[in-house]
Amino acid sequence: MKLEVPAARQRSQDAEQKDKAAGVLGIEPWKNHPARLPAPLPEADAGGALVPPLNFAMVDDGIFRSGLPDAANFRFLLSLNLRSIVYLCPEPYPEENAWFLRQNGIELHQFGIEGSKSGLTMPETLLLQEPLVYIPEETIREALKVILDVRNQPVLIHCKRGKHRTGCVVGCLRKLQKWCLSSVFDEYLHFAAAKARSTDQRFMELFDASSLMHLTASE
């Protein structure tokens, strides 16, 4: 005998399947932050896909990280309701990106940190006993002050690829949040992968967060 599924139950099952599919596509985290979703875009723009930048991730409530966004990512950035961007490269901000920020009232905070010129991976630097690459600690501190200021949030932190400079800043933020060092390194390695640098990890290990402990990161 064929059993008929009541229409209301069938609609409930369909909705559940759609929710599961949304989680696979990475939409699930936004359910916890409905207040941060923007107003609907104009109908002419509503059909475009939301494409996150390279290495995008949520760091904490109101704090995000990524590589350098391009035009294909602009609609996604709008969905974050950003107030500011912390840019960690010394090069001028791309004009197209700067125009996007001006049009949407997003403030740019630039902290120019030179990228490593060695190009060596972590196993190679360990083998060659690479000296500590200079990372300006005071610049990291100033960037963290901007990031942790709730008046600047939601904020996106990015460099070019979202690996080394962004990884160091986020790693130092984790020390402020009292993460254990192994967890700090695990997160760094998740994004840097084969391009991980021992100098970055040594910098994070030695970073003194005590002078910033009065700043409160979101719990």
Structure tokens that stand for 96 in this block: 């197209």
Region label for 26, one of left (φ > 0), alpha (ψ between -120 and 50) or beta (otherwise): left
State phi, psi for 16 to the nearest 5 degrees.
Answer: -65, -40
Catalytic residue from among 89, 159, 168, 180: 159
Tally of helices (H runs) and strands (E runs) in the chain: 8, 5
How many other CB atoms are found less than 10 A from the CB of residue 145?
13
- Verify whether residue 159 is a known catalytic residue: yes
- What φ, ψ does residue 87 adopt, rounded to 5°? -105, 125
Contact residues for 193 (Cβ-Cβ < 8 A; gap 6+):
none
- Supply the residues annotated as catalytic: 159
